[in-house]
Amino acid sequence: MGSLLERASVSKTAFYSLVRKDDILPRSICSIASALDVSPLAFLEEDVEAIKARRLIKEADAIARAHPGLDRENVRHTLLMLSMEPIERLRRGLIRGRKIDIH
C-alpha cells in the first residue's frame, strides 16, 4: 500500500482521510446525479482511448525533455506505432502508401 501511495504522490494521511468518509465526491456532483437519476460515477467515467492518448503524450513529452534535439511529434508518432501490433503497423503503412499518388 505504501509503495502505491508513494507512486501516486498521495500521503497516507490523505488516503486514510478519504477512507473514513462516507462519500468522497462533492455534494454538488451527488445532487446533480440524483436529479438526473444517474450514478455519480457517470460523471467520472473516462474514455479508455483518451487515457491511453494522455499517457502516450506524457511519455513523449518526457522523452523530448530528456533529449532536446528530438522532435516531440516524431517521438509521439513513434510511440504510437510501437504500441500497435506489427500487423496493424503494416496495414497502416500500406494504406498510407496507397494514398500517396506517385506519377
Grid cell in block for residue 93? 503503412
For residue 71, what is the DSSP state?
-
For residue 23, what is the DSSP state?
-
Per residue in 32-43, is it b (16+ CB within 10 Å) or e — as a string?
A: ebeeeeeebeee
Q: pLDDT by residue (tens digit) across 26-71?
A: 888 889 989 999 888 888 777 778 888 889 999 999 999 999 999 9
Q: What is the DSSP string of 28-60?
A: HHHHHHHHHTS-GGGGT---HHHHHHHHHHHHH
The pTM score is: 0.48
Cα–Cα distance measured from residue 82 to residue 79, given in angstroms and rounded to the nearest whole number:
5
